[in-house]
Amino acid sequence: MSDAPLIDPFQRPITYLRLSVTDRCDFRCTYCMAENMTFLPKKELLSLEELDRVSSAFIGLGVRKLRITGGEPLVRRDIMEYFRAMSRHLETGALDELTLTTNGSQLERFAGDLAACGVRRVNISLDTLDSQKFTDITRRGDLDKVKRGIDAAQSAGLRVKINAVALKNFNDVELFDLTEWCAARDMDLTWIEVMPMGDIGNEDRLDQYWPLTDLRDQLATRYTLTPLAERTGGPARYVRLEETGQKIGFITPLTHNFCESCNRVRLTCTGELYMCLGQEDRADLREPLRAHPDSDEPLVAAIREAITHKPKGHDFDYSRQRPDGQVSRHMSHTGG
């Protein structure tokens, strides 16, 4: 049974690992972090070698897609060593896809190296095309630098998808501008409802919350939306805009629970395995990693045991005018 695939209690195969390699980020987005974050001591983070071991263990258990997240994954020191190590699984065919989610700030520097490691597409988080609003929401970001990163990624042959968090009274007025900008650059666009994760200081998520049902209705006033049957096992549901040909995704953890086909788990930069983004249950994989440096058998056993506790779904809910189901950890710790 050591090489049997991972199947959760609801008969969902686990084929997708989202791995956070750092909790650090060069932005402080208002819906993701407090302005004055306290980051984890570096000794608590998995080393690059440990990240390799745990990723390879999951791949050996049937994970076919590996997405690298953070924080901002490209601020992790020597992170390209890890990407180069993972490329061997692409070469053997054990892994179908190696990809990452990034804020784009470091792509101008790393896009070519990522492509050389077998990365074929990236998701870039971008919520506004207004330079001042971008600086305000990221608290320190430079929109022009991100745009240069997008240019570098496309020049390197990477397929780019933009992820935008839907925020009321912020980017709702940019819906059509963002859509047309992405279409002009041959980029798909996915909208995400703001999720109740972590203490973000003075920001109120109820004030930020813009349901995607409203967003989709607005899109339909200008475009013909054709629902697509495409399913990745992930949370997004897709439509094609007939007028532009681009694909628009909707990730709706609040207006539509997307858990029935969930094929993923998330591993934090400290080795905590979360079987569900919206639940607090977790398993410690750092302990078997460090206690048994010469054998992966205890690690594999810990992974298998954890998957038996994967829940049916999450509990996010804003319907009672409070962020029910809120979890205490920041998205930057779990991995975006």
Model confidence over 67-105: pLDDT tens digits? 999 999 999 999 999 999 999 999 999 999 999 999 999
Could you give the 3-state DSSP secondary structure of residue 301?
Answer: helix
State the pTM of this model. 0.88
Return binding residues for [4Fe-4S] cluster: 25, 29, 32, 259, 262, 276
Chain mean pLDDT for the chain: 88
Could you give the 3-state DSSP secondary structure of residue 41?
Answer: coil
Q: Where are the domains of the chain?
A: 16-334
Backbone angles phi, psi at 154, to 5 degrees: -65, -35
Q: Which of 50, 22, 15, 49 is nearest to 37 (CA)?
A: 22
User: Which tens digits make up the pLDDT trace of 183-214?
Assistant: 999 999 999 998 754 444 444 555 778 999 99
Return binding residues for GTP: 18, 67, 101, 161, 264-266
**Tokens describing residue 124:** 């870039």
| Inter-helix orientation angle 107-116/79-92, to 10° | 30
For position 265, what pLDDT does the model report? 94
For position 288, what pLDDT does the model report? 98
User: Which tens digits make up the pLDDT trace of 102-133?
Assistant: 999 999 999 999 999 999 999 999 999 999 99
**Tokens describing residue 52:** 């390799």
Return binding residues: 18, 25, 29, 31-32, 67, 71, 101, 125, 161, 195, 259, 262, 264-266, 276
Please tell me the distance from the alpha carbon of residue 66 to that of residue 100, in angstroms, as a whole number: 8
| Alpha carbon separation from 93 to 65, 99, 189, 283 (Å, rounded) | 11, 15, 29, 28
Half-sphere exposure of 200 (CA within 13 A, CB side): 25
Return binding residues for S-adenosyl-L-methionine: 31, 71, 125, 195
Q: Which CATH number, 3.50.50.60, 2.40.110.10, 2.60.120.10, 3.20.20.70, labels domain 16-334?
A: 3.20.20.70
